[in-house]
């Protein structure tokens, strides 16, 4: 692993390390379980936004080494999402499956969260080189466009979870609009070039 990659790997572990430290030093307030669950969700979302930042950043800077960390960032999305969901299943619901099922059915933001998490699984399974080869680049790419849908669903999940002050979810939605917007812009630009008559 390159030095760059190793640094990113270690830095990405800082949020969870901080949470563990904060928990044992009683810095998470009166409701630590809620604080941890929400924070882990926040970090899953932030890493997802970061993976979506790689491609536009590469266009902008031509810094191709960025591609070497995209898969790792994607796996960190899953890492934080798994911890987030585990907190919910364990310390929020205590593995009472009938309650959890009711929750998934009756509370729309949890319904969306559940499907969002589930959608991450095929992407993780197909994340290694062998699977990329097996699927073929084009099919793999097509499958991994699911990331866009996951990001949109994540925003909705967050927006619906917040009770009244929507400032924070709107901030992340604005970032996502930007991240997806540049892709749409680029796509249409390409189309126009294709359509332009050869001179």
Partner 1 sequence: MNIKKNRWNEPAASDITDYDVYLKRRDFLAGGAALALGSVSGLALAKEAPAIPSPTWTDLVSSNLSIDEKKTSFRDVTTYNNFYEFGTGKDSPARNAVGFPDNSQPWKIVVEGECDNPGSYGYDDFIKPYPLEERIYRMRCVEGWSMVIPWVGFSLSDVLKQAKPNSKAKFVEFTTLYDPDIMIKRNVLDWPYTEGLRIDEAMNPLTMLAVGLYGQELLGQNGAPIRLVVPWKYGFKSIKSIVGIRFVEEMPQSAWMKAGPTEYGFYSNVNPDVPHPRWSQSRERRIGELRKRKTLMFNGYADHVASLYEGMDLVKNF
The footprint of partner 1 (CB under 8 A) covers 15, 18, 22, 27-31, 33-35, 39, 42-43, 46, 91-92, 94, 99, 102-103, 106-109, 160-161, 163-165, 167-168, 170-171
Min separation Cβ 150 and partner 1, Å: 20
- Which residue, 2 or 17, is less far from partner 1 as judged by CB? 17
- The two three-digit tokens of residue 2, written as one number: 């390159």
- How far is 41 from 159, CA to CA, in rounded Å? 13
Helices (H) and strands (E) in the chain, counts: 10, 0
Min separation Cβ 168 and partner 1, Å: 5
Min separation Cβ 167 and partner 1, Å: 6
Q: Which of 113, 184, 118 is nearest to 155 (CA)?
A: 113
Task: Please give the C-alpha separations between residue 41 and each of 19, 21, 74, 181, in angstroms, as whole numbers.
Answer: 12, 18, 14, 24
Min separation Cβ 27 and partner 1, Å: 6
- Which residue, 53 or 75, is less far from partner 1 as judged by CB? 53
- Which residue, 74 or 169, is less far from partner 1 as judged by CB? 169
The percent of the chain in helix, strand and coil, each rounded to the nearest 5, is 85, 0, 15
- Which residue, 9 or 140, is less far from partner 1 as judged by CB? 9
- Which residue, 109 or 148, is less far from partner 1 as judged by CB? 109
Q: Report the alpha-carbon angle 146-147-153, nearest 5.
A: 90
Min separation Cβ 57 and partner 1, Å: 16
Min separation Cβ 52 and partner 1, Å: 15
CA 50 to the chain's CA centroid: 8
- Which residue, 29 or 197, is less far from partner 1 as judged by CB? 29
Task: Please give the C-alpha separations between residue 156 and each of 51, 129, 152, in angstroms, as whole numbers.
Answer: 19, 32, 6
């Amino acid at each position: 692993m390159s030095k760059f990659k190793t640094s990113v790997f270690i830095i990405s572990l800082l949020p969870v390390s901080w949470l563990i430290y904060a928990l044992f030093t009683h810095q998470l307030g009166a409701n630590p379980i809620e604080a941890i669950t929400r924070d882990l969700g926040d970090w899953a979302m932030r890493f997802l936004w970061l993976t979506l930042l790689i491609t536009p950043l590469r266009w902008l800077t031509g810094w191709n080494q960025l591609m070497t960390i995209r898969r790792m960032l994607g796996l960190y999305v899953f890492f934080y999402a798994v911890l987030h969901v585990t907190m919910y299943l364990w310390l929020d619901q205590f593995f009472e499956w009938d309650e959890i099922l009711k929750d998934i059915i009756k509370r729309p933001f949890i319904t969306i969260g559940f499907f969002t998490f589930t959608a991450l699984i095929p992407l993780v399974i197909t994340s290694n080189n062998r699977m990329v080869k097996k699927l073929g680049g084009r099919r793999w790419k097509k499958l991994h466009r699911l990331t866009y849908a996951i990001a949109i669903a994540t925003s909705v999940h967050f927006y619906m979870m917040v009770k009244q002050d929507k400032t924070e979810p709107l901030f992340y939605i604005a970032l996502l609009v930007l991240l997806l917007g540049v892709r749409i812009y680029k796509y249409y630009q390409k189309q126009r070039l294709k359509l332009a008559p050869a001179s």
